Amino acid sequence: QVQLVESGGGLVQAGGSLRLSCAASTRPFSTNAMTWFRQAPGKEREFVATLRWSGGNTYYADFVKGRFTISRDNAKNTVYLQMNSLKPEDTAVYYCAADLTRSGQSTFRSWGQGTQVTVSS
C-alpha cells in the first residue's frame, strides 16, 4: 500500500533551479521522516536532506546547505526539494525515502523509483 512517486526532474543549466516532488501514500503506517537521497553514475547513494515529521526539523548534507530546501505540504501529502544554484556535480538520480513505523514494529524505510536530474555546464 505504501507508494512514493518522485517527479520534477529534468535537464537544467548550471546555476538554474528545479523543484522535486515526492507524492507519498503511506497509510496505515506513521511517518517518522522523509529524506532525499541521490546517486550519480559510478558513485554510491548519498544523503541530501531530511525532514523529521514530528516538529518539522530539517537537516542537510554540507554540500547542499544554502542551495537546497526540503519542505512539505500536509494537504497534498507531498514532500518537496527545492534546488537552487545547481551545479554539474548535482547530476544524479534523486530518490525519496520514507521512514515508517507501525505499532509493535520497528522503523523501516520505503523508497521511491527516483527522478533524473541533469545539470549541464
Least confident of 8-17, 36-45, 100-109: 100-109
Residues in the chain: 121
Mean pLDDT (the chain) is 95
Mean pLDDT of 77-105: 94
Q: What is the 3-state secondary structure (H, E, C) of the chain?
A: CCEEEEECCEEEECCCCEEEEEEEECCCCEEEEEEEEEECCCCCCEEEEEEECCCCCEEECHHHCCCEEEEEEHHHCEEEEEECCCCHHHCEEEEEEEEEECCCCCCEEEECCCEEEEEEC
- Rounded Cα–Cα distance for residues 117 and 18 (Å): 9
The pLDDT of residue 78 is 93
Query: Looking at the predicted structure, is the pLDDT value of residue 1 above 90?
Result: no
pLDDT range class, residue 27, cuts 50, 70, 90? confident
DSSP 8-state class, residue 98: E
Set of cell numbers at residue 68: 537546497
